Chain A
Amino acid sequence: MFGQVLFSGLALGSIYGLVALGFTVIFKATDVFNFAQGMFVVLGAYLAVTAISLLGLPFPLAILFLVIASALVGAVIHILLIQPLSGRPMLSVIMLTIALSIVLRSVIELTYGPQGRTLSTPLPMGVLVVGDVRMSYLHLWAALVSWLCMAIFGAFFRFTSVGLLMRATADGHEAAVVSGVNVNAMNRVAWGIGTTLAAIGGLFLGQLQIASPELETIGLLALPAVVIGGMQSIPGAIIGGLLVGVIEQMASAYISPKSSDIVIYLLLLVILMVRPWGLFGQRELGRV
């Protein structure tokens, strides 16, 4: 029982970590606390439905379509909505992302109908039994791909010149501008990456359940994940995601299925009161 719960918690947690990583990339670059991240997950699931079921693309092409389309959506959102609002008070920006998720949801529901759609991919469906733990291949794949994506983006930030410029931009806007970095272009890339990571999470969540706008709630678990991990920290986002996944599965297995959200949010509340900068974040200092 325990091993089983731990496994599914870690597998789901990997997806949450991926979504949370996308969230952190956006937050670090543009200081936008993105409440639309959950809707980006839904968007990913429906883009996958579009590519696989409606367009009938072969699976590798479908993945390419998913990545390009979601990156474009992210970049366009940055140009149209985020850039005009730079320097505005926090509530305006938060509300903008909430309104964005309302718009995205209604567009998705108007296009595809309010009912969910099944999403089937050629990924293997069987179950791997190790000891008394039954691991579905789908969960294993989801976890593997999530870790692969995290590794790829980690390497991207660490070793490429664009990654370096993006880190520089995130560290200090003014300094980056003075050094001749095109800050807006960097931020656009960050939004593209953030959206894509959420969309890949949506691909798996859509398949583990069904592709429906209700996935937003699951995608929004990235919020407690990033706060628990520490908002400015990339490893924090991943570990926060894993933690949230494990806690969710433990709570629904040992307490009651309804209680999983509340346990996560109670932990969030405790973290906020005791260590607001999160487990891996850096303590913010107040300035006058």
Chain B
Amino acid sequence: MNTNTSLSRGQAWQKWLWRLLAVAVLAYLPVVLTDRAAFGIALSNMQLLNLGLTQVNLMLIAMLGALSLNYLTGSAGLISIGHAAFYATGAMTAAITGSQLGWPFPLVLLSAAVSGALVGVLAGLPSLRVRGLYFVLSTLAVHHVIVYVFLEYQFKFFDVVGIPYAGAKLGGWELNTPIRWYFFLLALVVLVYAGFAASLRTREGRAMQAMRDHELAATSMGVDVRILRLKAFGLSSAVASVAGALFAYLLTNVTSEAFGITFAIQFIAMIIIGGMGSLPGALVGAAIWLLLPSIIGGLAPRSSEAVGLTRLFLVEGRAQFVQLIFGMLVIVLLIFAPRGITGLGRDIRQLLASWRGR
């Protein structure tokens, strides 16, 4: 817990300056990535780290997923391998209400949230009976059940090609360009972030963290852990479900294969990389997970020039190489920095501060 209530005047000013700068950067970033130039100076692909705006948009959606899993796992202490299933729930609800019934986009998102919350509470029901490892396995089982339902649904009403999604618009504002998606998703991420941060500061949020740290102690303080668990599950999966619907609309076509077990694992990896229980950590983890592959892709020389190991790692086996780096990163962080990158950053800052003599 950081208590920044007693900031001096200068520090407060500094803080606002940083925020303003962040807003400016975030607002200008999509322009840079679309025009491939900053302030009239053209930038090469390498200077832009081989990033495109679509990649950034996918990252923003992944951030929603990572934030919601972090809320569930990092703050409420409920480990779930079923997060892909909630994405699938959202995508399926969007297919029913959006693609089949033709509801307007905001209503589609709302329906995804509601069905996500319902499915989440159902998936959280085993938590009333089983703990720890057994609960993790029940989320794994739930994952398989939901993905199977998605598969059956997809083959009944659509076909192998997948479910098409179209017509994402808010009132008259159609989300038809990456830049529009960017601002919409950015606003949503900020909203969800602020929402989770606020909810963690409420009485229930604190009770939830008490439950994570010591269930029995929390119970004896008068916390009803059963209801709290289901609430955490409902909220988290509602957000994940909306993210799933957005994911489907951004890609415009989704099949059941998209929501495999690897999809669920990536969210766990994100919050471990970023730092368990830390909201900024979830953002950092999602950013690394989604952006690193294309950054590594940018390092690849033209395929005719590459030889030997460079060729193997950066051209032919690039996907595997990226996976290798991710796997190693998670292992190294788990062994040497269990609080993730944000925890590592905090440690380094404290170390620097103590060197400077505070």
Residues of A in contact with B (beta carbons under 8 Å apart): 33, 81, 84-85, 88, 90-92, 94-96, 98-100, 102-103, 105-107, 109-110, 114, 223-224, 227, 231, 258-259, 261-262, 265-266, 268-269, 272-273, 276, 286, 288
Contacts and interface: CB of A to CB of B under 8 A. Distances in A.
Given A95-B269, A95-B334, A100-B331, A114 B141 contact: no
Given A91-B276, A96-B334, 10 more contacts: A98-B269, A100-B327, A110-B320, A223-B140, A231-B133, A268-B137, A269-B138, A269-B142, A272-B137, A276-B134
B145 interface: yes
Interface string B309-347: 000110001001101101110110011001000000000
Given A276-B130, A276-B134, A265 B144 contact: yes
A91 B74 CA distance: 10
A99 B334 contact: yes
A96 B331 contact: yes
Nearest to B262: A102
A28 B335 CA distance: 22
A265 B148 CA distance: 11
Contacts of A85: 334-335
A268 B138 CA distance: 8
A99 B327 CA distance: 5
Contact of A102 (B142, B151, B313, B323): B323
B129 A276 contact: yes
Contacts of B348: none
A87 to B, nearest CB: 11
A268 B81 CA distance: 15
A282 to B, nearest CB: 14
B274 to A, nearest CB: 13
Nearest to B138: A272
30 contacts: A81-B335, A88-B334, A90-B132, A90-B133, A90-B136, A91-B73, A92-B334, A94-B136, A95-B269, A99-B269, A100-B331, A102-B324, A102-B326, A103-B327, A103-B328, A107-B324, A109-B317, A110-B313, A110-B320, A227-B134, A227-B137, A231-B133, A261-B144, A261-B148, A265-B140, A265-B145, A268-B141, A269-B145, A273-B126, A276-B134
B216 interface: yes
Top 5 nearest A-B pairs by Cβ distance?
A: A103-B327, A102-B327, A99-B330, A106-B324, A265-B144
Nearest to B129: A273
Contacts of A96: 330-331, 334
Report, as a range, how many residues of chain B touch the other chain: 35 or more
B290 interface: no
Given A90-B133, A95-B269, A265-B144, A103 B126 contact: no
B53 to A, nearest CB: 28
Contact of A90 (B79, B320, B326): B79
Contacts of A272: 126, 129-130, 134, 137-138, 141
A266 B141 CA distance: 7
Nearest to B152: A258
A33 B133 contact: yes
Contact of B272 (A95, A231, A261, A269): A95
B48 interface: no
B239 interface: no
Contacts of A99: 269, 326-328, 330-331, 334
A223 B276 CA distance: 25
Nearest to A88: B338
B227 interface: no
B38 interface: no
Interface string B109-147: 000000000000000001001111110111011101100
Contacts of A102: 265, 323-324, 326-327, 330
A102 B323 CA distance: 7
Nearest to A258: B151
A98 B265 contact: yes
Contacts of A107: 324
Given A227-B137, A276-B129, A276-B134, A92 B338 contact: yes
* Residue from B129, B320, B330, B335 whose CB has the most chain A CB atoms within 10 Å: B320
B268 interface: yes
Interface in B163-206: none
A98 B270 CA distance: 13
A258 B331 CA distance: 34
A105 B323 CA distance: 9
Contacts of A92: 272, 334, 338
A91 B78 CA distance: 10
Interface string B248-273: 00000000000000000100110010
B95 to A, nearest CB: 19
B256 to A, nearest CB: 10
Nearest to A105: B323
A40 to B, nearest CB: 15
